[in-house]
Structure 1
C-alpha cells in the first residue's frame, strides 16, 4: 500500500511567500535535491545555477563571497573555512613538486611554518625575502619560481610591502603574485588594482569583526586560476560553515563604520604610546618614524588601519606585568574584535621560531601587537598608560 503524503519524513517544500526576508536566511542543509538526473547534469555542467552538496558550495558562502568580491573588485572568489585554508588553497592548489615559491620574511607565523616545514616536505622549494626590497626578492628568484606570497602589511611587525615593485617584477618574470590583504582590508588597499594576481583574506579578523567566525577568502584575477583554487578547495574540504558565513555577513554590514572608528583610535593610541617612558618603540604606518612611512602613505592613501605594535622595555617580566595590569583588555592571539586585544608574538603566533629568528624580525619578549577595537578612546589610552607604568615602574 502506498504511503500517504503525510507519512513522509520530508514531504513538503518551503512555504511559498509573496514577500522575501530582509535578512539572508541561514541554509545549513548539507544536501540539495534536484528534480531529475538531467537537471543535476545541467547544474554540474554550468548550464543552470544550483546547489548539490554543501562542500561544493552553499548560499551563505556565495553571499559572503559576492560581498567581498565587490569590495576587492574581482569575480569568482572562494570562501574557505579559515584564513590559513585560503593560504593553503594557493600554496597547495597551484604549486607542484619541483616548484619554488618566495615568501615575505615577515609573514604570519603559520604561513612561515608552511613555507619552512610543510612545502619542503612535498618537494616544493621555498625562500624568504624582504617584501619591501624588490632587489632582495629578485635575487631569490630561480628558474622554477612560480609564486611570490607577501602580506600588504606584515603580521605583526606592520612593515609595508613594495606591492607595485613586486607586481612589476612578477609580471616581467612570469611569476604569480599573491597578496594577503588581511591587515589592510579593501578599505585601505585593493591589491588587484596594483597588479596582484591573487588576493587572500582572513575574514575571521576585521571583516567579520566579532571573534565568533572562522573564515577565509581567496580570489584570482585570471578565471582559469580562480577555477583551480575553487576545485582544490572543494576537493580538500576547505569548505566554510554556513553558520559562520551567516555571522560573517552580519559583521561585514558594519565593517566600514567599525574600520573608521578603530583606525582613528589606533592612530591616537600609537601617538600616546610614543610618549610613555616605558615604551621602547612604536610601529604604526602613518607615523613619520615608521620605517616604511613614505611607501605606506602612497600605497594606503592615508589609511593606517587598526593595528599598532610596540615594544616595552624590560622583556618577558615586563610583558607579564603589562598584561596583568591592562584591565578590561583581552590578552588573546587574535585581532579584529570589537574590543581591543593584545597579542604577544613570542608566546603565540611566532613561538615556533627560535629566539634568534624572532630577534631577526624584531620580535623581542617585550613586543606586543594591539588590535584596536571600539572602546572610548580616552578610556583606552588611560588603560595603556596605567599598564605601561605598572610594567616598567620608574622608567
Structure 2
C-alpha cells in the first residue's frame, strides 16, 4: 500500500483466519517488529515470548528444537544450530577456556577429531584421545584441569560402543562434564540424559532429517546455566540455523521412527549377509554376537543396534575402487541417514586428515567401508553388495 506521500509500506499483518495451517508455515523473515521499546525490553527479559532477529531465534528452529527435546527428554529446551559441527563447536569452544583440558573418544567423527587435535591446542586447550570403552585409560587421562569428556555412544566409523554408564559415574566423581554425540544412535536407540550425560549433541542432518537436503545440529545441557551459555555462544558466533533447513528437517522428523526401524532391521540382514561373502575380512555391527562390544550394546541400547554397518574388504584401494564402481544404485557419499543406502570410505573422506598409520591403528584400512543402510528392499540390497564384493575380489 501507499501512504499520503506515495512511499511503499509493508502490510502490518497477515490476513486473519479462523482456521490454522496443518503444515508448519515457513518463516524466512530475518527481523521481527515489536510495538514499542517497552515490549522489546519485555521480550529480551523473558516477560513476553517473541522473536526479534533470526540469529537469536525463529519459529522454525523452535519447532525442531521442541520435537527433539521430546525425543531426548531434555531437561531444558535445546539449541538448534546451523550444522552438527556447529553444535560440537558450541560445546568445545563455548564451554572451555585456555588452560582447560578435554578428553575425547579416540574414534570420534573426523572433523570432531580434527578440532580436538588441532584447533583446541592452538587456542591453549589441551586434549587427550582415549578409548571410551577403557575405563582405566579414561581414569588415568583425567587431570585437575579436565573440563569435559566428549564421546559418541557408538563411534564413527568403527561402531565401537562406549561404556557410557562407567563414564557417567567417573565424570560425576571427578566433577567433569560428560558430552555424548548421539547422532549414530539417535533417541530411538539411546537417550544419554537417562544414562548420566550432561550434554547431548546431534547432527540433525543425518537420520533425524533423513533426506540429505537439510544441514542442522542440536545441543542441549542438563544444567540450565550451561544450556543458556550454549545458546548465547551460538547467537554470538552466528551458528544460527536456516529457517528453510529447519522446515525441511521437521518434515523429515515426522517419519523418523518409521525410517529408523525399517533401516535398522535391514542393517542386521545386511551385516549377516556380508559376513558370509568371500572377499570380506570382517563385518562390524553391534547386533552381531562377534562384535567385541555386543554385550555392552545389548545392555546400553536395549536391542536397538542402529542402521550403520561397517566392513573391511580383503584388498586395498584398488579393491575399494572396484567395489564402489560395481555397487549399482548405491551412492558413494560422505554422509549417513539418507532414505537411500550410502557408502562411505573413511580413508578418502571423514578420516583422510589422519596418517595411514593412525587410520590403521584405529582399524580403518583402505578396504574399510561404512554403510548407512536405507529403505531399500533387503533382498535387492544384499544382491547389490554380493555383486560389488565379487568385483572387488576380482580386481
Counterparts of 1:243-322 in structure 2 under 5 Å? Answer: 243-322=244-323
Shift of 1:7: 4.8
Shift of 1:98: 0.3
Corresponding residue number in structure 2 for 1:195? 196
Contact map agreement 2:147 2:177 (CA 8 A) in 1: yes
Contact map agreement 1:105 1:130 (CA 8 A) in 2: yes
1:66-98: CA deviations, max 9, x gaps?
000000001220000000000000000000000
Counterparts of 1:126-165 in structure 2 under 5 Å? Answer: 126-165=127-166
SS where residue 295 of structure 1 aligns? Answer: helix
Shift of 1:134: 1.2
- TM-score using structure 1 length: 0.98
1:177-231: CA deviations, max 9, x gaps?
0000000000000000000000000000000000001000000011001000000
Q: Distance in 2 between the 1:166 and 1:6 partners?
A: 67
Counterparts of 1:1-395 in structure 2 under 5 Å? Answer: 3-4=3-4, 7-74=7-74, 75-393=76-394
Shift of 1:384: 0.1
Shift of 1:393: 2.6
Contact map agreement 2:3 2:9 (CA 8 A) in 1: no
Contact map agreement 1:76 1:223 (CA 8 A) in 2: no
1:101-148: CA deviations, max 9, x gaps?
000000010000000100001000000100011111111001100100
SS where residue 89 of structure 1 aligns? Answer: helix
Unaligned runs of 5+ in 1: none
Q: Distance in 2 between the 1:381 and 1:268 partners?
A: 8
1:137-161: CA deviations, max 9, x gaps?
1110011001000000000000000
Unaligned runs of 5+ in 2: none
1:21-51: CA deviations, max 9, x gaps?
0100000000000000000000000001000
Q: Distance in 1 between the 2:145 and 2:337 partners?
A: 37
Q: Distance in 2 between the 1:363 and 1:345 partners?
A: 7
Q: Distance in 2 between the 1:332 and 1:91 partners?
A: 27
Q: Distance in 2 between the 1:250 and 1:372 partners?
A: 20
Aligned residues: 393
Contact map agreement 2:338 2:372 (CA 8 A) in 1: yes
- TM-score using structure 2 length: 0.98
SS where residue 80 of structure 2 aligns? Answer: strand
Moved over 4 A (4+): none
